[in-house]
Chains A and B, each alone.
Chain A
């Protein structure tokens, strides 16, 4: 398997998913944290392509 990095994107960290916040759906744009989408290319147990996406903060 290999990992690739795409251009920085704005989603927040994956851990925020667990917080299950209910962000106001009327929001749009605004100051956004700089994050990077990472893609791990691997396979399912029977060998089909499986892509696992994670999102990391890059503001550090």
Chain B
């Protein structure tokens, strides 16, 4: 049972997906649904004895095509709508006991190719307005499967944070005549204190306005609206800087860092988007090796984040890691 319900005060769709209560939760060894299926053993989501990278429609989807009609019809001022869209799982590797940080650059580069293909193919669907690629890693983020994997949601609408970002991107372009992301990159390069990794084509930094401790944003140095605009060298460069940043996370406290990874790209409307630039943002929930930051009443109710760390200091710690 899944549907969209309109939140009239925040002006955004809320997805109900009651079947997701039943999804697989931290299965024991030998019962991982993302591992290849071995002869005579537990049948996983991938009925092959091996694979390189696998993508499949989520067994417990928040969004589907075609969508089911809403189970409960809304009315003004709280309408409902079918939860049209696509929910996919992306298994990064057939190997269970590894992480994105531990994958070879060549494997992450393949993952970049797969991300690109999913963005482009799903973006061609007339029902799809925005393709959002993401990863939750570690139990602190609520992950239910430890096998290295990410997900994507292909929405039939522009999700609320992206709407807000676009508003500010558009406003900055109108007022200053330049892309806000280019301005941010120029600012960080000139300052230098918040840079975590500076590669040939990519830059990673803790933003001046970081909401989460050890938050890191990765940007292409050239104007690229989405993955499909990357050159071959930039694809490999993206893989390399993802590995660099995630390895720094793991070295920081000498254990695998939990994080939420969010990828922002242009909407899939076949229109130019000079106001935006693709980027990847990492939000680790840990503020120390043993203490996590909660998205509590201040953050959830008022939308105001209180970051108990200084971006200049966390960037230094990550540079030193």
| A residues at B contact (CB < 8 Å) | 6, 9-12, 14, 16-17, 19-30, 32, 37, 39, 44-46, 48-55
Contacts and interface: CB of A to CB of B under 8 A. Distances in A.
Interface string B240-255: 1101100100000000
A20 B243 CA distance: 14
19 contacts: A10-B109, A11-B113, A14-B110, A16-B104, A21-B104, A23-B106, A28-B233, A29-B201, A37-B117, A44-B59, A46-B59, A50-B45, A51-B54, A52-B52, A52-B53, A53-B53, A53-B113, A54-B51, A54-B52
A13 to B, nearest CB: 9
B52 A45 contact: no
B292 interface: no
A50 B55 contact: yes
A53 B110 contact: yes
A50 B45 CA distance: 8
A52 B54 contact: yes
Please provide the 5 A-B residue pairs with the shortest distance between their CB atoms, ordered closest to farther.
A29-B233, A28-B237, A28-B200, A25-B243, A48-B57
Interface residues of B toward A: which range? 35 or more
Contacts of A22: 104
Contacts of A20: 104
B112 to A, nearest CB: 8
Interface in B11-66: 43, 45-48, 51-57, 59
B236 A29 contact: yes
A9 B113 contact: yes
A37 B107 CA distance: 12
Contact of B93 (A6, A9, A17, A48): A17
B107 A29 contact: no
B54 A16 contact: no
A35 to B, nearest CB: 9
B223 to A, nearest CB: 18
A17 B52 contact: yes
Contacts, number: 116
Contact of B56 (A9, A10, A12, A50): A50
Nearest to B59: A48
B106 A16 contact: yes
A22 B95 CA distance: 15
B45 A17 contact: no
Interface in B88-114: 93-95, 104-107, 109-110, 113-114
Contacts of B233: 28-30, 32
B232 A53 contact: no
A55 B59 CA distance: 26
A45 B240 contact: no
B265 interface: no
Given A10-B236, A39-B117, A48 B105 contact: no
A23 B113 contact: no
Interface in B207-249: 232-237, 240-241, 243-244, 247
A29 B237 contact: yes
Given A28-B241, A45-B47, A53-B51, 20 more contacts: A6-B117, A11-B106, A21-B106, A22-B104, A23-B243, A27-B236, A28-B199, A28-B202, A28-B236, A29-B234, A32-B233, A37-B117, A39-B117, A44-B45, A44-B56, A49-B56, A49-B57, A50-B45, A51-B56, A52-B54
